[in-house]
Amino acid sequence: MQTDFGSFEKKIKITFGNKELLRTAFTHRSFLNENRKSGMEHNERLEFLGDAVLELIVTEYLYAKYPEKSEGDLTSYRSALVNAVTLASVAESLGMNDHLLLSRGEAKDIGRARQIILANTIEAFIGALYLDQGYEPAKAFISRHLFKLLDTIVEKKMWLDAKSHFQEKAQEIVGITPSYETVSEVGPDHDKQFTVAVFLGRERVAKGEGKSKQEAEQQAAKAALGVKGWK
């Protein structure tokens, strides 16, 4: 149950006045299921607040940085900057993984589930920082650790999802708009698995699987980018 938040504060060069807020930011709901008498609170309310603070600060920054860009482009840039993959990578680089308060079961999971927990934790941390010290310190933290990723995201078009990216490349290189075809649907209604193939004209380039047609199409497009060497 004990974790050294002092070492984390030193690493990020921020000292909390309310240490309980900092601890709460790292407390996953599953931890309280195993420690019901701890009297602690999980981080979901802080995550809710931090998500809003993060979105405002990022939106403000993008609005000023790209005066010529459309609302659609700015929305895409923001989505790429605050998605679970990006936030989890920042959280990991800050060593947040070492301070998470999780159940024994959650602590063993290091895949996609852990990525989402880390993304939620950094949002909760931003919410805690905002409550503890106000808007400007929260903005400074986000500026220091998140904004430096933006140039790479824009330059490498990481703001495009796989399907959009594959379509753009296909139209640019071969002059064809990709089409998608559902190959199979298996499983009961509440747990279906879809397989979708992506075509360039009559050429079947790749296929992908997912729990929805949209997810399967994204996976197919991602595979197709690899097959064509268009990443």
The torsion of the CA quartet 30, 31, 37, 43, rounded to 10 degrees, works out to: -80
A 10 A CB-CB count for 36 gives: 8
CA distance 17 to 14: 10
Polymer length in residues for the chain: 231
Is 51 known to be catalytic?
yes
Q: Is there a binding annotation on residue 9?
A: no
Name every residue whose Cβ is closer than 8 Å to that of residue 83 and which is 6 or more positions away in sequence. 119
Q: Is there a binding annotation on residue 43?
A: no
Is 123 known to be catalytic?
yes
**E strand or H helix at 171, and its extent?**
helix 162-173
Q: Is there a binding annotation on residue 123?
A: yes
Candidates 51, 132, 161, 217; catalytic one: 51
CA distance 79 to 159: 7
**172-181 LR contacts (CB < 8 Å, sep 24+):** 173/228, 173/230, 174/200, 176/200, 176/201, 178/205, 178/221, 178/224, 180/217, 180/220
Candidates 106, 123, 161, 217; catalytic one: 123
Binding site listing: 47, 120, 123
| Residues with a known catalytic role | 51, 123
Q: Can you say which residues are annotated as belonging to the binding site for Mg(2+)? A: 47, 120, 123
